Homo-oligomer: A and B are copies of this chain.
């Protein structure tokens, strides 16, 4: 196979040129002066385990530079006998150019040691640019904690696929994973649970095994810096007003309608009925927490969730009643959006935009918010029409925790069958979009981790589907799934060289299956019915 044909994501333009370049321990590196590419150069040296000594551009074997004629994140790669030139519209573009260049090396070049370190690259010219600016991966570290070193590995894998957002789902009913200085019990109490539900559906049992862990402030600083070096922005999510049982277990003040009963950190999957109190002390505490989050995460966006928030406990809560009366609000969705608006305003005062799930469309406006539409194109269309910027992340296309085939062998099968081809067919941009003030910023795939109790299981669910998602959100123009699956052969070698234990096209290896652990598979029809029922609550005005 022509190596240019094995690139993932596929470039907009790639052409074979005469000649070939030998990359080895004598290769030198030249950076265009004042280009701010030192970090990229350091990354390259470390990844290839080569010294690549710095020399003036005129003498360099590999030249990195900026080309102001290119857009942000766009790049060109030129390989000739004499040299390799990688230019980007910005440092991120150069980084992505180097990711493309690396794919022209043998798969062994992805190993951390033992590769030859002497590779011949055929002459070529490549031009590429991303279709969307938001290319995200949501990693749920609340349902199952992932140690820092595994998170860094996920960042490497995301960056290799030219994703640029890591959305960290840090809090949920089943765990609170972020150290907050003023409220240590959030982690000390909320950071672990007595056991976990094993499997899905009505027959699932508890496993009797405690689970926990959280990220210290230093851990967060490391994750954020490591991601930034790879041009990945970290978006922290503090999910509220639903999905807060772990926080309420730590600080009952935060809970609505408790009737004096403090819950434990939840040990079941699903949607707990705990919801944030709307009393002023609870909201002030959340504001404190968000101030701390803003201090820890320098990125432009903070996610506040707003999804799947049951209102039963508000209905038996005096503070909620008082708040409704005070505000003259009658609908729960508007009450929720009042809270989100208040918090989003505070975040905006600190220079942050708020990301919310598409439940925000069920209530009145939260100006300036970004909407993550998980329930399909209707949320994308409605959101942009109502003036929101939108990220497309539909459950029925890019929820990578969903089963990968119809086979009973899939481990703990949940959701619909979502093969690598299905993910590849995903298009973040609905074919027709009504006019409106909002823009589709891009897309995001999600890996919810109820049934992901280890990095090995994470690998199985992420790969190769993450590669399909990456291409769907990066590549412009028509895509051919057959051509893609052919390229996956070579790409699979790269992933194996990285130690990724992905899914084989033939299905799970015996030890990747989970016989006897119940799943909760859905048909596509049932999923479509389910999503259309729950989107019915969205307000069109």
Give me the interface of A with B, judged by CB distance under 8 Å: 38, 42, 45-46, 49, 51, 53-54, 108, 111-114, 147-149, 152-153, 192-193, 208-213, 216, 218-219, 221-222, 224-226, 228-229, 454-456, 496-499, 501, 509-516
Contacts and interface: CB of A to CB of B under 8 A. Distances in A.
Q: 8 closest Cβ contacts across the A-B interface?
A: A212-B511, A114-B225, A113-B226, A113-B225, A148-B499, A210-B511, A114-B222, A192-B511
A108 B217 CA distance: 12
A295 to B, nearest CB: 14
A153 B512 CA distance: 23
A199 to B, nearest CB: 11
Given A147-B501, A510-B192, A222 B112 contact: yes
Nearest to A148: B499
B54 A38 contact: no
Contacts of A209: 514
A244 to B, nearest CB: 20
Contacts of A229: 113
Contact of A112 (B147, B210, B226, B455): B226
Contact of A210 (B45, B212, B225, B513): B513
A378 B338 CA distance: 76
Given A111-B218, A113-B152, A211-B511, 9 more contacts: A46-B46, A112-B152, A113-B229, A114-B225, A114-B226, A147-B456, A149-B499, A192-B510, A210-B515
Contacts of A51: 38, 42, 54
Nearest to A212: B511
B212 A509 contact: yes
Given A42-B51, A113-B226, A152-B112, A147 B499 contact: yes
Taking the full assembly, how many copies of this chain does it contain? 2
Contacts of A226: 112-114
Contacts of A148: 499
A501 B213 contact: yes
Contacts of A454: 454
Given A149-B153, A153-B149, A192-B511, A222 B113 contact: yes
A390 to B, nearest CB: 31
A455 B111 contact: no
A114 to B, nearest CB: 3
A191 to B, nearest CB: 8
Contacts of A512: 210
A95 to B, nearest CB: 15
A51 B149 CA distance: 23
8 contacts: A45-B46, A53-B54, A113-B226, A114-B222, A114-B226, A149-B498, A212-B511, A454-B454
Nearest to A195: B515
A214 to B, nearest CB: 10
B111 A208 contact: no
A498 to B, nearest CB: 8
A492 to B, nearest CB: 13
A113 to B, nearest CB: 4
Contact of A147 (B49, B211, B228, B455): B455
A496 to B, nearest CB: 7
Contacts of A501: 147, 213
B216 A496 contact: yes
Contacts of A509: 192, 212
Nearest to A151: B499
A203 to B, nearest CB: 14
A509 B187 CA distance: 12
Contacts of A111: 218, 222
Contacts of A152: 112-113
A153 B510 CA distance: 26
A65 to B, nearest CB: 18
A179 B510 CA distance: 17
A535 to B, nearest CB: 37
A149 B496 CA distance: 11
A218 B228 CA distance: 31
Contacts of A211: 511
A145 to B, nearest CB: 8
B108 A218 contact: yes
A423 to B, nearest CB: 24
A228 to B, nearest CB: 8
